[in-house]
Amino acid sequence: MDIGSAVLVVIDMQNGFVNHHSRHAVPVVSDLVARWSLAGRPVVFTRYFNYPGSPYERFFRWHRLQGPPETDIVPELTEAAGRAHAVVDKTGYTLFTPEAAELIRQAGWTDLIFCGIATESCVLKSATDAFEHGYAPWIVTDACASDAGPHVHDAGLVVARRLVGSGQLVGVEHVRGRLAAYAGAPVLE
């Protein structure tokens, strides 16, 4: 993980995705964003927006996240999102909208570190797309969750290991250690 050319990508930490299955990720992601920002590294947030006639409506009969308050970033991260390098709005699973792909290219980021909701869909798809675009994807497993439950989160991680490699799945402590080393602080094991 090259912190010097990395961006922390916070996937869809929105009110509509936080429930009793995923709420535990909010303080973990908030702490990670705070530490990442304190080290002077860029953060990008994504926000998902559903729309009438979307594939989610047509195939899943899912009509949620079409506007506030469901589409709002959770209150614990609203201020951080306001200070973020960018907030990418999307209508599909992936971070890789044309605008985001150009942003990543222009910024010269090589490592994309993913956290957020939902592990098995938007986090996984974004990490897989990063892999296929030639970037190093990193999934911070304990800073991700699924609003469908822990078994679905775990299933997403199984698939992620197959699609981007087991070595690309790391924990928060690993990222904290890399940040500390980047900032010149002693690494606490």
Residue 130 falls inside a structural domain? yes
Predicted confidence at residue 189, as pLDDT, reads 43
Tell which wins on pLDDT, 182 or 76.
76
Confidence band of 110 (pLDDT split at 50, 70, 90): very high
Residue 189 falls inside a structural domain? no
pLDDT > 60? residue 187:
no
| Secondary structure of 101-115 in HEC code, one letter for each residue | HHHHHHHCCCEEEEE
Quote the number of domains for the chain: 1
pLDDT exceeding 90 applies to what percent of the chain? 92
Confidence band of 184 (pLDDT split at 50, 70, 90): confident
Average pLDDT (103-115) is 98
**Structural domain for 95, as ranges:** 3-183
Residue 188 falls inside a structural domain? no
Predicted confidence at residue 188, as pLDDT, reads 44
Chain-wide mean pLDDT for the chain?
A: 95
Helix (H) or strand (E) holding 8: strand 6-11
Average pLDDT (46-69) is 93
Residue 45 and residue 30: Cα distance in Å, rounded? Answer: 12
How far does CA 168 lie from the centroid of its chain? 14
Q: Going by C-beta distance under 8 Å and a sequence separation of 6 or more, which residues neighbour residue 30?
A: 76, 77, 80
Predicted confidence at residue 157, as pLDDT, reads 98
Query: pTM to 2 decimals?
Result: 0.93
Which CATH number fits the domain that encloses residue 175?
Answer: 3.40.50.850
Sheet hosting strand 86-90, strand order edge to edge = 86-90, 43-48, 6-11, 111-117, 136-145, 169-170
pLDDT > 60? residue 186:
no
Structure confidence by residue, pLDDT tens digits, 12-48: 999 999 999 999 999 999 999 999 999 999 999 999 9
